[in-house]
Amino acid sequence: MTDNTPQNPLTSLTLLGLGDMGTALARTWLAAGHRLTVWNRTATKAGPLAAEGAVVAASAAGAVAASRLVVLCLLDDASIDSALAGVDLTGKDLVNLTTGTPAEGRARAAWAEERGARFVDGGIMATPTMIGVPESGGYVFYSGSRALFDTHREVLEVPAGGRFVGEDPGHAALHDVALLSAMYGMFAGVSHAYALIEGEDVSPKDLAPLLSEWLGAMGFFIGNAAERLSSRDFTTGVVSNLAMQVTGSGTLLRTAEQQGVSAELISPYLELMRRRLTADPAAHGGEDTAGAITLLKR
Protein backbone atom coordinates (compact mmCIF):
# COMPACT_ATOMS: atom_id res chain seq x y z
CA MET A 1 0.00 0.00 0.00
CA THR A 2 1.32 3.49 -0.91
CA ASP A 3 2.44 5.60 2.05
CA ASN A 4 0.88 8.98 1.20
CA THR A 5 1.69 10.69 4.49
CA PRO A 6 3.04 14.25 4.17
CA GLN A 7 6.36 13.02 5.62
CA ASN A 8 6.98 10.64 2.74
CA PRO A 9 9.26 12.45 0.27
CA LEU A 10 8.45 9.88 -2.42
CA THR A 11 4.75 10.71 -2.56
CA SER A 12 4.94 14.47 -1.94
CA LEU A 13 5.51 16.54 -5.05
CA THR A 14 5.53 20.02 -6.46
CA LEU A 15 3.96 21.09 -9.74
CA LEU A 16 4.84 24.32 -11.51
CA GLY A 17 2.32 25.37 -14.15
CA LEU A 18 -1.45 25.25 -13.81
CA GLY A 19 -2.61 25.65 -17.37
CA ASP A 20 -5.09 23.18 -18.83
CA MET A 21 -2.62 20.30 -18.68
CA GLY A 22 -1.04 21.20 -15.33
CA THR A 23 -4.46 21.46 -13.72
CA ALA A 24 -5.52 18.07 -15.10
CA LEU A 25 -2.31 16.50 -13.77
CA ALA A 26 -2.74 18.15 -10.37
CA ARG A 27 -6.27 16.82 -9.95
CA THR A 28 -5.14 13.21 -10.41
CA TRP A 29 -2.40 13.52 -7.78
CA LEU A 30 -4.80 15.14 -5.33
CA ALA A 31 -7.44 12.48 -6.00
CA ALA A 32 -4.82 9.78 -5.34
CA GLY A 33 -4.03 11.35 -1.97
CA HIS A 34 -0.61 12.80 -2.72
CA ARG A 35 0.63 15.89 -0.94
CA LEU A 36 0.85 18.38 -3.79
CA THR A 37 2.39 21.84 -3.69
CA VAL A 38 1.54 24.03 -6.68
CA TRP A 39 2.68 27.32 -8.13
CA ASN A 40 1.46 29.24 -11.13
CA ARG A 41 2.62 32.59 -12.52
CA THR A 42 -0.98 33.80 -12.48
CA ALA A 43 -1.83 32.96 -8.89
CA THR A 44 -5.63 32.97 -9.29
CA LYS A 45 -5.49 29.73 -11.26
CA ALA A 46 -4.43 27.88 -8.10
CA GLY A 47 -7.66 28.76 -6.25
CA PRO A 48 -9.79 25.77 -7.29
CA LEU A 49 -6.90 23.37 -6.56
CA ALA A 50 -6.41 24.86 -3.09
CA ALA A 51 -10.05 24.01 -2.42
CA GLU A 52 -9.28 20.44 -3.51
CA GLY A 53 -6.36 20.13 -1.08
CA ALA A 54 -3.30 21.49 -2.88
CA VAL A 55 -0.78 23.57 -0.95
CA VAL A 56 -0.36 26.82 -2.87
CA ALA A 57 3.15 28.31 -2.76
CA ALA A 58 3.61 32.07 -3.00
CA SER A 59 6.68 31.74 -5.22
CA ALA A 60 8.32 29.24 -7.52
CA ALA A 61 11.27 29.07 -5.10
CA GLY A 62 8.90 28.21 -2.24
CA ALA A 63 7.18 25.55 -4.31
CA VAL A 64 10.49 23.95 -5.31
CA ALA A 65 11.71 23.97 -1.71
CA ALA A 66 8.61 22.05 -0.59
CA SER A 67 9.33 18.73 -2.35
CA ARG A 68 12.15 16.63 -3.68
CA LEU A 69 10.13 15.76 -6.82
CA VAL A 70 9.39 18.86 -8.90
CA VAL A 71 7.25 18.54 -12.04
CA LEU A 72 7.21 21.31 -14.65
CA CYS A 73 4.26 21.74 -17.00
CA LEU A 74 4.77 25.16 -18.55
CA LEU A 75 4.03 26.59 -21.96
CA ASP A 76 7.47 26.16 -23.53
CA ASP A 77 11.15 25.81 -22.74
CA ALA A 78 11.66 29.58 -22.41
CA SER A 79 9.03 29.74 -19.65
CA ILE A 80 11.15 27.34 -17.55
CA ASP A 81 13.98 29.90 -17.49
CA SER A 82 11.57 32.61 -16.52
CA ALA A 83 9.88 30.52 -13.77
CA LEU A 84 13.07 29.08 -12.26
CA ALA A 85 15.49 32.01 -12.57
CA GLY A 86 17.58 32.11 -9.40
CA VAL A 87 15.75 29.17 -7.78
CA ASP A 88 17.93 26.70 -5.84
CA LEU A 89 17.56 23.24 -7.43
CA THR A 90 20.21 21.43 -5.39
CA GLY A 91 19.18 17.85 -4.62
CA LYS A 92 15.92 18.12 -6.56
CA ASP A 93 14.45 15.57 -8.96
CA LEU A 94 13.16 17.60 -11.90
CA VAL A 95 10.62 16.12 -14.31
CA ASN A 96 9.90 18.38 -17.25
CA LEU A 97 6.56 17.73 -18.95
CA THR A 98 6.77 20.95 -20.96
CA THR A 99 6.78 20.22 -24.70
CA GLY A 100 10.18 20.94 -26.25
CA THR A 101 12.63 19.86 -28.89
CA PRO A 102 15.20 17.07 -28.39
CA ALA A 103 17.96 19.70 -28.25
CA GLU A 104 16.05 21.63 -25.59
CA GLY A 105 15.64 18.40 -23.59
CA ARG A 106 19.39 17.76 -23.70
CA ALA A 107 20.29 21.36 -22.85
CA ARG A 108 17.79 21.35 -19.99
CA ALA A 109 19.34 18.15 -18.60
CA ALA A 110 22.79 19.77 -18.62
CA TRP A 111 21.31 22.91 -17.04
CA ALA A 112 19.70 20.83 -14.27
CA GLU A 113 22.92 18.89 -13.65
CA GLU A 114 24.89 22.15 -13.31
CA ARG A 115 22.41 23.14 -10.61
CA GLY A 116 22.78 19.86 -8.69
CA ALA A 117 19.47 18.32 -9.80
CA ARG A 118 18.62 15.01 -11.44
CA PHE A 119 16.53 15.38 -14.59
CA VAL A 120 14.01 13.52 -16.68
CA ASP A 121 12.30 15.00 -19.72
CA GLY A 122 8.79 14.01 -20.67
CA GLY A 123 6.49 14.19 -23.69
CA ILE A 124 2.79 13.91 -22.93
CA MET A 125 0.86 11.88 -25.49
CA ALA A 126 -2.55 12.90 -24.22
CA THR A 127 -4.93 15.82 -24.08
CA PRO A 128 -6.02 17.14 -20.67
CA THR A 129 -9.29 15.16 -20.89
CA MET A 130 -7.29 11.91 -21.26
CA ILE A 131 -5.33 12.51 -18.06
CA GLY A 132 -6.40 10.22 -15.22
CA VAL A 133 -8.42 8.09 -17.67
CA PRO A 134 -6.36 4.91 -18.24
CA GLU A 135 -8.74 3.60 -20.93
CA SER A 136 -8.14 6.76 -23.03
CA GLY A 137 -4.82 5.35 -24.22
CA GLY A 138 -2.87 8.44 -23.14
CA TYR A 139 0.66 8.06 -21.84
CA VAL A 140 3.89 9.98 -21.30
CA PHE A 141 7.31 9.38 -22.87
CA TYR A 142 10.18 9.80 -20.40
CA SER A 143 13.93 9.93 -20.97
CA GLY A 144 17.00 10.94 -19.01
CA SER A 145 17.92 9.68 -15.55
CA ARG A 146 16.65 6.10 -15.25
CA ALA A 147 17.33 6.24 -11.52
CA LEU A 148 15.06 9.26 -11.11
CA PHE A 149 12.34 7.64 -13.20
CA ASP A 150 12.48 4.42 -11.19
CA THR A 151 12.43 6.31 -7.90
CA HIS A 152 9.28 8.27 -8.79
CA ARG A 153 7.60 5.98 -11.28
CA GLU A 154 4.61 5.22 -9.08
CA VAL A 155 3.82 8.91 -8.58
CA LEU A 156 4.53 9.85 -12.18
CA GLU A 157 2.17 7.17 -13.46
CA VAL A 158 -0.83 8.44 -11.51
CA PRO A 159 -1.97 10.82 -14.31
CA ALA A 160 -1.00 8.50 -17.21
CA GLY A 161 1.21 5.50 -17.89
CA GLY A 162 4.90 6.13 -18.50
CA ARG A 163 7.12 4.81 -21.31
CA PHE A 164 10.82 5.25 -20.61
CA VAL A 165 12.64 5.57 -23.94
CA GLY A 166 16.26 5.81 -22.84
CA GLU A 167 18.87 7.80 -20.94
CA ASP A 168 19.36 10.34 -23.72
CA PRO A 169 17.31 13.25 -22.33
CA GLY A 170 16.42 14.31 -25.87
CA HIS A 171 14.61 11.09 -26.70
CA ALA A 172 11.31 11.76 -24.96
CA ALA A 173 10.91 14.90 -27.07
CA LEU A 174 12.12 13.05 -30.17
CA HIS A 175 9.40 10.40 -29.75
CA ASP A 176 6.80 13.04 -28.84
CA VAL A 177 7.55 15.21 -31.88
CA ALA A 178 7.77 12.21 -34.23
CA LEU A 179 4.28 11.08 -33.23
CA LEU A 180 2.85 14.60 -33.31
CA SER A 181 4.36 15.20 -36.75
CA ALA A 182 2.75 12.03 -38.08
CA MET A 183 -0.53 13.15 -36.53
CA TYR A 184 -0.41 16.48 -38.38
CA GLY A 185 0.28 14.64 -41.64
CA MET A 186 -2.91 12.70 -41.05
CA PHE A 187 -4.82 15.88 -40.13
CA ALA A 188 -3.58 17.44 -43.39
CA GLY A 189 -4.80 14.54 -45.53
CA VAL A 190 -8.18 14.37 -43.80
CA SER A 191 -8.61 18.17 -44.11
CA HIS A 192 -7.90 17.95 -47.84
CA ALA A 193 -10.41 15.11 -48.24
CA TYR A 194 -13.16 17.12 -46.52
CA ALA A 195 -12.34 20.19 -48.64
CA LEU A 196 -12.74 18.08 -51.80
CA ILE A 197 -16.35 17.16 -50.99
CA GLU A 198 -17.43 20.65 -49.93
CA GLY A 199 -20.26 21.89 -52.15
CA GLU A 200 -20.96 18.37 -53.41
CA ASP A 201 -23.90 16.21 -52.38
CA VAL A 202 -21.64 14.18 -50.10
CA SER A 203 -21.91 14.69 -46.37
CA PRO A 204 -18.77 14.88 -44.20
CA LYS A 205 -20.64 12.56 -41.84
CA ASP A 206 -20.94 9.96 -44.60
CA LEU A 207 -17.29 10.36 -45.58
CA ALA A 208 -16.03 10.11 -41.98
CA PRO A 209 -16.43 6.33 -41.48
CA LEU A 210 -14.97 5.70 -44.93
CA LEU A 211 -11.92 7.80 -44.07
CA SER A 212 -11.44 6.00 -40.76
CA GLU A 213 -11.72 2.60 -42.41
CA TRP A 214 -9.32 3.51 -45.25
CA LEU A 215 -6.71 5.12 -43.03
CA GLY A 216 -6.89 2.08 -40.75
CA ALA A 217 -6.27 -0.23 -43.71
CA MET A 218 -3.40 1.97 -44.95
CA GLY A 219 -1.83 1.87 -41.49
CA PHE A 220 0.22 -1.08 -42.79
CA PHE A 221 2.53 1.58 -44.29
CA ILE A 222 3.94 2.30 -40.81
CA GLY A 223 5.38 -1.16 -40.24
CA ASN A 224 6.22 -1.73 -43.91
CA ALA A 225 8.25 1.50 -44.11
CA ALA A 226 10.05 0.61 -40.86
CA GLU A 227 11.07 -2.78 -42.31
CA ARG A 228 12.30 -1.20 -45.54
CA LEU A 229 14.23 1.58 -43.79
CA SER A 230 15.92 -1.02 -41.58
CA SER A 231 16.87 -3.29 -44.49
CA ARG A 232 17.29 -0.46 -47.06
CA ASP A 233 15.39 -2.74 -49.42
CA PHE A 234 12.75 -0.64 -51.18
CA THR A 235 12.05 -3.00 -54.06
CA THR A 236 11.30 -6.53 -52.84
CA GLY A 237 7.59 -7.39 -52.63
CA VAL A 238 6.36 -3.98 -53.73
CA VAL A 239 2.59 -3.89 -54.22
CA SER A 240 2.08 -0.24 -55.31
CA ASN A 241 5.13 0.94 -57.20
CA LEU A 242 6.40 4.52 -57.22
CA ALA A 243 6.04 5.12 -60.99
CA MET A 244 2.36 4.18 -60.83
CA GLN A 245 1.83 6.36 -57.74
CA VAL A 246 3.48 9.40 -59.34
CA THR A 247 1.20 9.06 -62.37
CA GLY A 248 -1.76 8.57 -60.04
CA SER A 249 -0.85 11.65 -58.03
CA GLY A 250 -1.53 13.72 -61.17
CA THR A 251 -5.16 12.62 -60.84
CA LEU A 252 -5.21 13.85 -57.25
CA LEU A 253 -3.82 17.24 -58.27
CA ARG A 254 -6.23 17.62 -61.21
CA THR A 255 -9.16 16.70 -58.98
CA ALA A 256 -8.12 19.35 -56.44
CA GLU A 257 -7.93 21.87 -59.30
CA GLN A 258 -11.36 20.87 -60.65
CA GLN A 259 -12.93 21.04 -57.18
CA GLY A 260 -11.41 24.48 -56.56
CA VAL A 261 -9.35 23.17 -53.65
CA SER A 262 -5.81 24.21 -52.86
CA ALA A 263 -3.44 21.24 -53.01
CA GLU A 264 -1.08 22.87 -50.51
CA LEU A 265 -1.60 20.18 -47.86
CA ILE A 266 -0.90 17.17 -50.06
CA SER A 267 1.42 18.49 -52.78
CA PRO A 268 4.65 18.38 -50.67
CA TYR A 269 4.39 14.62 -50.27
CA LEU A 270 3.37 14.06 -53.90
CA GLU A 271 6.31 16.23 -54.97
CA LEU A 272 8.68 14.17 -52.81
CA MET A 273 7.57 10.98 -54.58
CA ARG A 274 8.03 12.68 -57.97
CA ARG A 275 11.55 13.81 -56.99
CA ARG A 276 12.53 10.29 -55.99
CA LEU A 277 11.25 8.91 -59.28
CA THR A 278 12.78 11.53 -61.58
CA ALA A 279 16.21 11.22 -59.91
CA ASP A 280 16.50 7.78 -61.55
CA PRO A 281 13.28 6.37 -63.05
CA ALA A 282 14.88 3.02 -63.91
CA ALA A 283 16.20 2.50 -60.40
CA HIS A 284 13.28 3.91 -58.41
CA GLY A 285 10.19 3.35 -60.58
CA GLY A 286 9.57 -0.10 -59.09
CA GLU A 287 10.19 0.98 -55.52
CA ASP A 288 7.86 1.27 -52.59
CA THR A 289 7.08 4.91 -51.67
CA ALA A 290 9.10 4.40 -48.47
CA GLY A 291 12.19 5.04 -50.64
CA ALA A 292 11.21 8.72 -50.79
CA ILE A 293 11.85 9.03 -47.03
CA THR A 294 15.58 8.91 -47.80
CA LEU A 295 15.33 12.32 -49.50
CA LEU A 296 14.19 14.09 -46.36
CA LYS A 297 17.34 14.01 -44.24
CA ARG A 298 19.39 17.16 -44.83
Residues that bind ligand FVH (CB under 6 A): 17-22, 40-42, 45, 73-76, 79, 82-83, 98-99, 124, 127-128
First-to-last alpha carbon distance for the chain, in angstroms, is 52
Distance of closest approach, residue 176 Cβ to ligand FVH, in angstroms: 8
Residue 73's alpha-carbon distances to 25, 219, 258, in angstroms, are 9, 32, 46
Comparing every residue's Cβ against ligand FVH, the nearest one is 19
Contact 113, 134 (CB under 8 A): no
| Residue number, 14 or 249, with CB nearest to ligand FVH | 14
Distance of closest approach, residue 221 Cβ to ligand FVH, in angstroms: 25
Distance of closest approach, residue 87 Cβ to ligand FVH, in angstroms: 12
Distance of closest approach, residue 71 Cβ to ligand FVH, in angstroms: 11
Is beta strand 139-144 parallel, antiparallel or unpaired with respect to 118-125? antiparallel
Contact 120, 142 (CB under 8 A): yes
| Residue number, 53 or 128, with CB nearest to ligand FVH | 128
| Residue number, 56 or 73, with CB nearest to ligand FVH | 73
List the beta bridge partners of residue 123: 141
| Residue number, 75 or 270, with CB nearest to ligand FVH | 75
Distance of closest approach, residue 25 Cβ to ligand FVH, in angstroms: 9
- DSSP states of 139-207: EEEEEE-HHHHHHHHHHHTTTSEEEE--S-TTHHHHHHHHHHHHHHHHHHHHHHHHHHHTTSS--HHHH
| Residue number, 11 or 98, with CB nearest to ligand FVH | 98
